[in-house]
Structure 1
C-alpha cells in the first residue's frame, strides 16, 4: 500500500493535471449570475482540497479532516447553485458583501436542504445523478465524523490521544481528491472547450490509485 507521502505526491500531480487543463482554457466569459456563483463555490472547494493536502503534509491531520467537510459543502453549494437554487436564492448568494447582505445570507439553505433540493431536481434531470448520488453517499457515511473534527468532538480527541492512523489519512485524501475532481469537472463545463471537458473528465484514469471510486465521464456533474 502506498504511503501517505506517496499519496500526497500523486494527489498534487492529479491537481496539477486538472488545473493545467482548466487554466489552458480558463475563460468563463459570458457566465450569468447563476453560473458565476457556481464557479466561485467550485473554486472554493478546490482551494479547500488543496489546503487539506497541505495540512496532511505538515502533519496537521485533525485540521486536515475538518477541511473535508468544508470542501464537501463548497462543492454541494456549487452544484445546488447551478442546478437547484431559485433565482432569488442565486441573487442572495451573489449580492456584494455588506453587513446587511451577510445577515440575509444566513437564511440560505443548510447542507441537508441543498442536498434534498438536488435530489428532487435529479428526478426531472437524471443526468446530474452522477454528481448528486456521491454527495448523498458521502453525507450518509461521513457527515457525523466530519462534524466531529469541525467541532472538536470525540474523533479528534481520540486521535490526539491514540494517534492518527496513516490508512485513515490516506482515505481522507482520496475522498478529497474525488471532491476536487467533481469541482474541476464543473469548472471545465464553463470553459466551453470540449477537449478540456474530456481531459478533465478522464483525468481520474491516470490517477485511480488516489481516487476514492471509479467515476467515469458518463457521470454528468
Structure 2
C-alpha cells in the first residue's frame, strides 16, 4: 500500500467533515433500540477520530490498540440494529438495582462470534464476510495490544512502518462509513448519500469497501 500517511490523513480529515455533516442531518432515534445503536455508532466514530489524531502525534501503539474496541463497537451496533432481542435491549438500558455492584454490567452481550452469526442472518452476506475476515486476520494481534503482549513492545522498540499506519487509517475510515450507514438506518435517514461520499473518497477507504445497506 504505497500511500503517503500525511496525504491519507489529509484526505481522511475531509472525509470526516462530510460524514460529520451527514450525522448532523440525522434525527436521533426515539426507540430504545435506536438509542443503543446510536450509542455504539458514536463510540466507533470517537475511536476512529482518536486513532487518527494519535497518529499525527506519533502515538502509534495507542492508535493500533483502539482497533479492537472500534471493531467490537461496530459489531455490537450492527447486531443491536436487527439481531438483539427486545428483552436484551430493555435489560441493557435498565439501571441496576441499588444492591447490585455498580461495577457490573446491566446485562452482557453475547460473544463476538455469536453476534457475527446473528448478523449473517439479518444482513447482506458482504457485511458478515467482511467483519468475519477482519476478525480472523486481526483478533490475535489485537489481543496482544489490548492485554500488553509482545506485539506492542516490539512496536515501540522497532517503530511502525508507514504502510501499517496507512492501513490503520483506511480501516478506521471503513469503520466510520459502516457506522454512518448503520446510524442512518436507525434514524430512518434517506439512503444514497453515503455511497456518493464513498465514491469520492475511495483513496482513503479500504479496497472494495462497501457502504451498501446493511
Scaled by the length of structure 2, the TM-score of the pair is: 0.89
Q: 2: CA distance between counterparts of 1:18 and 1:175?
A: 15
Corresponding residue pairs, total: 211
Moved over 4 A (4+): none
> What's 2:198 paired with?
204
Answering whether residue 143 of structure 2 is matched by residue 137 of structure 1, we say no
SS of equivalent to 2:192:
helix
SS of equivalent to 1:152:
coil
In the TM superposition, what is the alpha-carbon distance from 1:96 to its structure 2 partner? 3.6
In the TM superposition, what is the alpha-carbon distance from 1:200 to its structure 2 partner? 1.7
- Which residue among 138, 159, 163 is the counterpart of 2:159? 163
Q: 2: CA distance between counterparts of 1:148 and 1:79?
A: 25
Q: Normalized per residue, which structure has more helix? A: 1
Render the CA deviation track for 1:96-151: whole Å, top value 9, x for unaligned: 477737524363222222222323xx2xx4x4333222111110111111121111
Scaled by the length of structure 1, the TM-score of the pair is: 0.87
Calculate the aligned-residue CA RMSD, in Å: 2.0
SS of equivalent to 2:106:
helix
1:107 to 1:188, Cα distance in 2 relative to 1, 3 A: closer
Answering whether residue 20 of structure 2 is matched by residue 27 of structure 1, we say no
> What's 2:118 paired with?
117
> What's 1:76 paired with?
75
Contact preservation (8 Å) 1:130, 1:220: no
SS of equivalent to 2:124:
helix
